[in-house]
Amino acid sequence: MYTMFCEKNNFQYEVVEEQAGEEAGIKSATLHIKGEYAYGYLKNEKGVHRLVRISPFDAGRRRHTSFASVSVTPEYNTNVNIEIKESDLKIDVYHSSGAGGQSVNTSNSAVRITHLPTKTVVTCQNERSQLKNKEEAMKILKNKLYQLEVERKEQELNKLKGETVSIDFGSQIRNYVLEPYKLIKDLRSNYETSNVDKVLDGGLLELIESLLKRRKNDEK
């Protein structure tokens, strides 16, 4: 859905890592997206997305509910000073699995870095070189840690202001219902559409803009 959204809106994207699910589908993926206002649009996708459908893997053709958590991190200036201690890192090297975009690795060059104090995990497998994958993973980690610090300060400021604003990744934001009827509804703007195929094929712009308009009206 997101790669097609990028293609429809002239955003450049690169699949940094992709892990196949144990039985089918995608377990996790990281995209690096570039374009004018890319973060301004896609930051609104942060949260939990709920899908209800007839599972193609269920012989009994029963309805199944599944969830996908989306995290969106801006790419900060490379001069941002984030101190990361080597002792705080757990670095694993492994063989890339599943489709990882172009030039997927055929050796143990994929890198997974865990920042132990925050339990932040980043992986990179799109480069052939283990060193380049490590450099890219460290860059992503620094961005994520900087974002965590920004959110921590925002939470402290909101407490001082007496505001209760949820900025975590665990809030459900949108339902995608394919059975027994077709309906996609954003739970923040209350925008809904029965044209589920259009949305799942990357037609997210109206959904995103409905939220931007809602927030602009709330500020008036």
What pLDDT digit, counting tens, does each position of 98-120 carry? Answer: 544 444 445 678 999 999 999 99
What pLDDT digit, counting tens, does each position of 132-178 carry? Answer: 999 999 989 988 898 888 888 777 766 654 544 444 444 689 999 99
Sequence-separated (6 or more) residues with CB below 8 Å from residue 35: 6, 9, 10, 11, 12
Of the ranges 75-89, 137-151, 178-192, which one carries the lowest mean pLDDT score? 75-89
**% of the chain at pLDDT higher than 90:** 44
Residue 152's identity, in one-letter code, is R
Q: List phi, psi (to 5°) of 212.
A: -60, -40
Residue 34's identity, in one-letter code, is K
What pLDDT digit, counting tens, does each position of 187-209 carry? Answer: 999 999 999 999 999 999 999 99
69: nearest Cα among 202, 178, 170: 170
Region 78-102: mean pLDDT is: 74
Residue 144 vs residues 101, 102, 135, 136, 218: alpha-carbon distances, Å: 22, 25, 14, 13, 29
Does residue 127 carry a pLDDT above 70?
yes
Question: 19, 104 in Cβ contact below 8 A?
Answer: no
If one compares 58 and 28, the residue with the highest pLDDT of the two is: 28
Region 10-27: mean pLDDT is: 87
Instruction: Quote the pTM value.
Output: 0.68
Return d(Cα 204, Cα 3) in angstroms, integer. Answer: 11
If one compares 106 and 62, the residue with the highest pLDDT of the two is: 62
Mean pLDDT taken over the chain? 84
